[in-house]
Structure 1
Amino acid sequence: MSNRKPYVREVKRTWWKDHPFYRFYMLREATVLPLILFTLFLTIGLGALVKGPESWNTWLNFMANPIVIAINIVALLGSLLHAKTFFSMMPQVMPMRLNGKPIDAKVVVLAQWAAVAFISLVVLIIV
Structure 2
Amino acid sequence: MTKRKPYVKPMKATWWNNHPFYRMYMLREATVLPLILFTLFLTAGLASLVKGADSWEAWLIFMANPVVVAINIVALAGSLFHAHTFFGMMPQVMPIKIKGKTLDKKIIVLSQWAAVAIISLIVLIIV
| Separation in structure 1 between the aligned mates of residue 25 and residue 74 of structure 2, nearest angstrom | 17
**Residue 107 of structure 1, CA deviation:** 0.3
Q: 1:81 is matched with which residue?
A: 81
| Separation in structure 1 between the aligned mates of residue 95 and residue 21 of structure 2, nearest angstrom | 24
- What per-residue deviation string (whole Å, max 9, x for no partner) do you get for residues 1-41 of structure 1? 12332111111111111111111111111111100000000
| Separation in structure 2 between the aligned mates of residue 77 and residue 46 of structure 1, nearest angstrom | 23
Aligned residues: 127
What is the RMSD of the two structures over their aligned residues, measured on CA atoms? 0.7
**Residue 124 of structure 1, CA deviation:** 0.1
Q: TM-score, normalised by structure 2?
A: 0.97
Q: TM-score, normalised by structure 1?
A: 0.97
Q: Tell me the amino acid that sits aligned with residue 14 of structure 1.
A: T
Structure 2: segments with no counterpart, 5+ residues: none
**Residue 99 of structure 1, CA deviation:** 1.4
- What per-residue deviation string (whole Å, max 9, x for no partner) do you get for residues 70-100 of structure 1? 0000000000011000001000000101111
Confirm whether residue 34 of structure 1 aligns to residue 34 of structure 2: yes
Q: Tell me the amino acid that sits aligned with residue 87 of structure 2.
A: F
Q: 1:125 is matched with which residue?
A: 125
Question: What is the percentage of aligned positions where both structures have the same residue?
Answer: 72
| Separation in structure 2 between the aligned mates of residue 38 and residue 102 of structure 1, nearest angstrom | 38
For residue 7 of structure 2, give the secondary structure of its aligned residue in structure 1: coil
- What per-residue deviation string (whole Å, max 9, x for no partner) do you get for residues 42-75 of structure 1? 0000000011110000000000000000000000
| Separation in structure 2 between the aligned mates of residue 113 and residue 19 of structure 1, nearest angstrom | 29
For residue 95 of structure 1, give the secondary structure of its aligned residue in structure 2: coil
**Residue 123 of structure 1, CA deviation:** 0.1
Q: Tell me the amino acid that sits aligned with residue 124 of structure 1.
A: L
Q: 1:63 is matched with which residue?
A: 63
Moved over 4 A (4+): none
| Separation in structure 1 between the aligned mates of residue 121 and residue 100 of structure 2, nearest angstrom | 33
Q: 1:103 is matched with which residue?
A: 103
